[in-house]
Structure 1
Amino acid sequence: MNLTAQYIQKSRALLDTIEAQTETIQQAATWFSRTILAGRMVHLFGSGHSRIMVEEMWPRYGSFAGFNPIVELSLSFHNLVVGANGQRQAMFLENVPGLAPRILRNYDLSNLDSALIISSSGCNVVPIEMAELFQQQGVKVVALISKQHADKSTSKRPDGKKLSDFADLVMDTGAPVGDAMITVPGLDTPVAPGSTVGGAVVVNCIKAELARLLTEAGQPPNVLSAANVVGSERAVTLFESAYDEHAHRLAKLYQNVGIPSYVSEQADTLIPQRL
């Protein structure tokens, strides 16, 4: 069997693993629907290449508002590889204790919120601390890991706890230990990872189930759609509506954050005065 066929075959096996988690996917979608219907947001976080799944969820075609993508460039900007803003720094920073609370200090969290935290190993400090802090605020946490890889990995936290220890629900990408799925003859290290394939399938299954639940609840989402599918005029309307809804939801995360000010205390009663 050629290597292309091998990768496709192994990817089909990932799909089988994901299909076996249908009830778990539906549970995640149910929690997320409650958050969105309450006017709040589902927080998305992933460091390193887990950022890919954050962007797969929102914003892109076939997606809709209701998600807060928390993407820290210091943890996920890989383009330069070396030098300033290089990969070494990002890999170091994702294991620095105390960074997660500084990130979440920017948001006014509610127990109506929910969160999806993505980490293939489930062992890096920042994603674990994010999940821990969310749970402390009463936020439901869904973790997306690669179970085989996570089980064989060692947590970077001194107490040995992993992302799964701070998750109300755990989902599996199906990827193997080490992530890479293909062994090349004459090469002693495998290539071609699988967690991105599995992770993208999981988040899109959640998205589909979630769209169904919102529609059944009488609040069908404004889905970012291509003009060659819905027509140019409707495509523009959907884009503008979805982005505006995102802004309105995001405003709630900032309005009462941290130390109160006269603006937050009187947000609904301020009357402009002539100077």
Structure 2
Amino acid sequence: MVRSPYYRVNPSPWPIMISLSLLNSVFCLVAWMHREMSSNSLIFSSLFCLVSCMFMWWRDLLREGDRGYFSSYVIKGFRDGMVMFIVSEVMFFVSFFWAFFHSSLSPNVEVGGNWPPCGIRAPGVSVATLNLWLLVISGETLNYSYYSLRSKDYDYGSIIMLIVTILLGVSFLLVQFNEYVVNSFCISDGIYGSVFYLLTGFHGVHVIGGTLFLIVTAIRLWFGHFTSDRCFGFTACVWYWHFVDVVWMAVCLFVYFWGNGVLTTLLF
């Protein structure tokens, strides 16, 4: 490995391997949709190859970072890439919010001219409020862990608060799963069910990804991969988790409070 101002310190085989694994996954998914006999085993094998290549690529990046091969140009590239990734995720959720407002602001005759549609019992706001508090508190504990690391507290405050954040993220997922179990409608119950489960479901997927991100960060913190002045991996984790927090605030406000008429009742 050599110190370089470019992204790749050394030529890496993993980008092309991941691209081929993704292409193979798409082919296997199409075969599964056409009910091919061996499609299930092909999907699992392609996903295994994809995860293995991703693991090897991340392993190389961690080794390069630990050995000090990343220059300020490389770190800036990581930072810009993380910002662009979060912006793309924002646009992803904007599309679902667009569908929600398009259907709720002017409900057509197909849904009975009402929102929520006739026959749909909208979920209560108590579960959403509980999840909101869980994510808000997790954001605060993550901030405490991050600033403890920046203050060179490598043993107690940073690790303990990061573990608490992980537990809060898992608690959010358990509460969300319980809500799905007791809901009186499913994703096939018209536009309301589709928009509700797409918004909350994809947010749940992002919470799962963020929790895995936190777990990997906690493991790296335990093994001393971060210092007070070299911790961009931790910084990116904080950015992503706060993005997840803000998205749930929007979901809670518009889908649960405003979409169910609770906010209108409180204000008027």
- TM-score, with length taken from structure 2: 0.29
Q: Which has the higher contact order (CA 8 A, sep 6+)?
A: 1
Structure (1/2) with the larger strand percentage: 1
- TM-score, with length taken from structure 1: 0.29
Structure (1/2) with the larger helix percentage: 2
Asked which structure has the greater CA Rg, the reply is 2
